Every structure is written in C-alpha cells, then in structure tokens.
Structure 1
C-alpha cells in the first residue's frame, strides 16, 4: 500500500496557505509537492508531464483572475486520479463544487478533525474504498487565451493549426490562439470527431467537404457558402486519413 500521498495547495492568501500546510504537516502519510498562489501557476504545474502528479489538491475558490472553478474546468479535459478538497470562506459554492466530484468542502477557518476526515475520504477513493463517480462525457474544449478561459463546443471547431508553442483554433466566430502544443490538443480532443492530418493540423471530421484522390490535401467548411479551407495532409498521416475515409463510405 502506498505510504505517502503527494498533494498541492492552491491558495492566494499567503498566511492561509502556510496555515493549511502546517496542519497537513501533522500527517505522516502526506507529502507536499507544491504550493501555488493562483490557479494559473497550478494549472501549468499540473499540465507539465515532468511534474510529479499529486494525489490530492487543496483548492481555494475565490482567487484573482482565475477562480478555482476555472481550474477545475480546465482539468476536466484530462481527467486523472487526483482528488480535490475545496478550502473556502464561502458556503454558497458547495452545491456547484460537488458537480466536480470533490472529496471534501471545508470552510475557513479549517478545523483539523474535518480536514482529516476529508483527507481520509480522498485516500479511500484513491484506493477504491469509496466508489468515485464516473467522469461525465465532454462536449467542449476549454482553452486559455491570454488571461481568460474560453469554452468551445466541439461543433464550433473547424481545425487547429500549430505554430511553435501556440495553437490557432479556427471557429465560425474567428480564431483563438492558445499557448499549447498540437500533441497535447490531439490528446484532449475525442478521436471519433477529430483527426490529426499533419504535424501542424488537427481537423474536425464533421466538416470535410472534399479531399484529393491521392490523399495529399483536404478541404473543410462549416456550411454551404462559408469560406473553404484547404490543408495539406502530411505523408505519415495519409494512411490513417485514407482508412478513416474508407470507413465513412
């Protein structure tokens, strides 16, 4: 059985962050992996494959710029085993919080016995002692553009184009640019709806208008009369594209 459970703390008030860590230090089965004063830094840590994956996240709700709910929405696209315990001064977020299958909702000032109860519950869920609710199917992509989060329904996305560490996502209302790699976006999008056709391109299969008979290019448009976008299909992606098109016939 695992002896140490890694955790992170996301709390914008330094004193409250330190007080919580002090309480958590009383447990021999927990190990601090990181503490963050905002949701943006926490998301960057969690999205980094090189960072040790935490088992439990202690999360504040009301924070400058991005809230705890913003962070939970962003993490829904890449669900994992991490359990979430909310720590907040506001009771009115409780009902909404449980939409995210949290393991505990603690009001500040945090009481040690209630904290320990939530931790024990989270550890139980990690060990399948408490059955966790299955994740709900996703029908949208949540991206970060500059200092805001943008929610895009899958049906809104025509294609994604990568350039260095940015991705341009083309929709009927215009293009959005997010700091992300094409590979990560490919993993986040459902393979039944989207296909990578090039090192730089991911397309929405629903909007294919036509494609070259030798499978070197494909044309996309949202609807009749909309602009037509013709994209190259990379050599190493043509076999899979051809197979997908043959399945549609």
Structure 2
C-alpha cells in the first residue's frame, strides 16, 4: 500500500514514517509533503490508499482538503494527526473520522492503519469530512455517524428516540426505523456524554429526553417513550431523573 504524509513539521513526518516502517508492513511506500497544496498534488499523481493529514498547518488547514479534491475522487482513507482539544476529539468520533493524537505512539498508528485498511472503499470519507468540518466550524454537533453494513449512516440527534443494549450490539430506535449497530451501548454513552438531550436512566438504555411521553409511577416506576417503548429506571437514578425532567 502507498501512504502520503502531509505535515508542515519535518520531525513529525520523520517520526510517523519510522513508526509506519517499523509497525505497518502493509504500507510499502511512503511519500511526504510539507503543506496541503503539495500534498493534494501528490494525491492526484500517486493515488495513495492512505493519507496522514495534519490539521494545523500554515496557509491551509488539513480540513480544507475538501476544497481541492473532487468528492468523486476520494478513493483513499484519511487519518488526521492532531493535538486538538477534547471538544474537537468528540467531533472526530461523532463524525467517525480516524485520527491520531500527538505525540504519536506505535500501537495507535498500527491500530489506525488496520482500521483504515478495513474501511477502504466503503467509509464515504468525503461525507464524514463534511460532517466533521461543519461540527468544528459551528461548535455545535447535530449528527452522529453510525457504521452500518454498507457504509456510514449519518443520523441527526433529534431523530434518535433511544438506544438499547443488546449484548455487544446496540439497537437504535429513530423516528423512522430501528438500526442494529455492532458496538456496545457503552460506546454511545461515552460518545454522547456531552450532548444534553441524551440521558441514561438505566444501564441498558440511553434515551432522548425530547421523546419522553410519560413517567409511570406503577411497577416501581418506568418511562414510556413516544414510540411506545417502556424504559426502566434504576433505583439510584429515579430521584435524579425526576429532578431532571422537572427542569425541562
């Protein structure tokens, strides 16, 4: 496989090249670029499978790659390298865009490369980048990227009613359908932790407070959602939940 490293810091490029050579034997050719425009030229010329792209560079941010490459030409995977804040990292994860935090570590590089190889040709990277760019520029998250069998499904938060644990899977009920995702509920609990409309009343559920139809006191107390689903409330969460809904 062929990889292009785009970073304005020579030391960062050299370190990443060493880590790739020592840990990722499937990457057989590595090409470097010191800025976005020269990197874009190399992408068009070399047609790599992987692009490692620094975000914070002079003149053009790595996120501006959408301005220089046609959507139809995105037949490669991008792995961003970044020292961004926790807020920005949440934007990456909600958009399902791969990233590496600086300073780089060998195991993280290997994991990112293996994931990118698996996603080649099916991840719709251009759509994910558009969602990421919008989230970072507006400082407001609106959608989550869900990995489904044929690619990535972007679902607005305000269309998700609830998420329910199903072993190592999660069943997501939207206003239109139910989607099974091969990730545990804990993944979404962590990912949506700072999105205020979501609340976890029970270890098996994560609900959108906007879709609560009724709180029922009988049978120990439970929540009835707009789609008719009954959601349990843990004993240690009942008081907190009632205080929360009284402020909505």
Query: What TM-score comes out, normalization by structure 1 length?
Result: 0.51
Matching of residues 41-190 of structure 1 within 5 Å: 58=52, 61-63=74-76, 68=78, 75-77=92-94, 82=101, 136-189=139-192, 190=194
8 Å CA contact 1:216–1:234 kept in 2: the answer is no
8 Å CA contact 2:201–2:233 kept in 1: the answer is yes
Which consecutive residues of structure 2, in runs of 5 or more, have no partner in the other structure?
27-50, 54-72, 80-88, 103-124
Displacement of 1:237 after TM fit? 2.5
Residues 36 and 212 of structure 1: CA distance in aligned 2, closer, same or farther (over 3 Å): farther
What SS class does the counterpart of residue 247 from structure 2 fall into? helix
- Report which of the two has the higher share of helix: 2
Counterparts of 2:12 and 2:160, CA distance in 1: 48
Query: Residues 208-242 of structure 1, C-alpha deviation per residue, up to 9 Å, x if partnerless?
Result: 11112377200110xxxxx4221111223223212
Correspondence for 1:207: 211
Residues 174 and 36 of structure 1: CA distance in aligned 2, closer, same or farther (over 3 Å): farther
Counterparts of 1:29 and 1:177, CA distance in 2: 39
Counterparts of 2:25 and 2:155, CA distance in 1: 27
Correspondence for 1:243: 243
Which consecutive residues of structure 1, in runs of 5 or more, have no partner in the other structure?
1-13, 38-56, 84-92, 102-132, 222-226
Counterparts of 2:155 and 2:228, CA distance in 1: 21
Displacement of 1:153 after TM fit? 0.7
Correspondence for 1:193: 197
Query: Residues 47-67 of structure 1, C-alpha deviation per residue, up to 9 Å, x if partnerless?
Result: xxxxxxxxxx7069414xxx5
Correspondence for 2:56: none
Counterparts of 1:229 and 1:82, CA distance in 2: 40
8 Å CA contact 1:211–1:219 kept in 2: the answer is yes
8 Å CA contact 2:93–2:191 kept in 1: the answer is no
Query: What TM-score comes out, normalization by structure 2 length?
Result: 0.51
What SS class does the counterpart of residue 236 from structure 1 fall into? helix
Counterparts of 2:182 and 2:163, CA distance in 1: 12
Do structure 1's residue 219 and structure 2's residue 236 form an aligned pair?
Answer: no
**RMSD after superposition:** 4.3
